[in-house]
Amino acid sequence: MSFFNGLFGRKKSESVVFIDIGTGSVAGAYAQFTQGDQPVMHYTRRLPIEIRTSEPHEDAMLRALGILGEVLIREGAPVLMRNTGSGSVDTVLVSVDAPWQKTSVRTEYFEQKEPFIFNKSMVNTALEKTSTAPPGQLLADESIIGTILNGYETKDPYGKETRRASIIVLTSLIDEKVAQGIQKILRGLYHTKNILTIAGSSLRYQAMRIAFPHERDALILDATGPLTSIALVRRDLLVDVVEIPVHRAGTAVWLKTLTDELAELAQRFPLPRTIFLLAREPNVISLRETLDEAELGKLWLSDNPPKIVSVLSSHLVGLVRSATTASPDISLLLMALYFERRSAED
């Protein structure tokens, strides 16, 4: 905050565009972040991806994104102008789902014979050496989601003395061709170089930790699109991410594959008794019914089934304020939570 902002009590404010790219639809939003206040969603819009005959899926997605961008400029920017006094934006955050993204988890270790001070420069140097992307993939984001000093998780690790340390890194890889197409469209729409990209499953996992901070052990079943991912969280740390390459339209096959993946996880880790179900409303209702009928309790070797929590937009009412008449979009709301935390940490 500048001297004059502090002198006259003005709060730092930032306008952000969110772009959510899914398998079957694309969505956009204008949001405002003001220091000390809740994020405010001023405009949201979701459009379907309509695939023409013999058209590659990514081409149809990019065409839908271009149409969405025109709508955001034509309809959304004036709304932002009326509510904030300016129609310009500072940052564009893009969340990309499968099949154009991959998420992976790895651990980096630090150990010395003598005690040392753990600092951010040390972490940055390690990440520069180990951060690589396979051919055809873009390394879009690396988020440190856990730090352990001397065997104990530490929330504020920098500047502390330790003998050994480790960081858990969540990596987002985006298809390079798709990422370039997205960047080209957005650069043509917005006069900002600050365009950030992240895998949707990575973003939603991190946002869920913000929305439900007291659930230290849980499974996050992310079915916001036709494809599904499972995130296993133990002691507040992400242990594993599994992506199910089965379209949810074939519910019986999807359910069997989901059960098989959970059974495999159960062989390696004790499964938490809380399952967070992420899906767009009203699909979350039918999915919850499908899971309730699946007798998942057998995987826990118990007659009592696990607790399934359907995550609804109402769970986020106290965290993000909506100033639109459109129905709340859970994916966009979680993007707002993620961005607010990321901005606070930068």
Instruction: Give the per-residue SS3 of 23-49.
Output: CCEEEEEEEEEECCCCCEEEEEEEEEC
Q: What pLDDT is stored for residue 131 in this prediction?
A: 86
Question: Where are the chain's structural domains?
Answer: 3-99+176-200+315-345, 101-173, 214-312
Cα 126 from Cα 106, distance rounded (Å) = 13
Cα 74 from Cα 203, distance rounded (Å) = 28
CATH architecture of 214-312: 2-Layer Sandwich (3.30)
pLDDT digits (tens, 9 = 90+) for 244-293: 877 666 678 888 888 899 999 988 888 899 999 998 877 888 888 888 87
pLDDT digits (tens, 9 = 90+) for 169-211: 999 999 999 999 999 999 999 988 899 999 998 899 899 999 9
Q: What pLDDT is stored for residue 309 in this prediction?
A: 92
Indicate the pTM of the whole model: 0.88
Q: What pLDDT is stored for residue 70 in this prediction?
A: 97
Answer whether 3-99+176-200+315-345 and 101-173 agree in fold. Answer: no
Cα 20 from Cα 87, distance rounded (Å) = 20
Q: What pLDDT is stored for residue 346 in this prediction?
A: 67
CB 331 within 8 A of CB 320: no
- Residue 143: which of 196, 193, 192, 92 has the closest Cα? 196
Environment class of residue 337 by beta-carbon count within 10 Å: exposed (0-12), middle (13-18) or buried (19+)?
Answer: buried
CATH code assigned to 101-173: 3.30.1490.110
Q: What pLDDT is stored for residue 81 in this prediction?
A: 94
The domain covering 3-99+176-200+315-345 belongs, at the CATH homologous superfamily level, to ATPase, nucleotide binding domain (3.30.420.40)
Q: What pLDDT is stored for residue 181 in this prediction?
A: 96
Question: Quick one: tokens of 261?
Answer: 């993946």
Report residues of the chain scoring pLDDT below 70: 1-11, 247-250, 346
Q: What pLDDT is stored for residue 138 in this prediction?
A: 93
Q: What pLDDT is stored for residue 344 in this prediction?
A: 77
User: At 309, phi and psi to the nearest 5?
Assistant: -105, 110
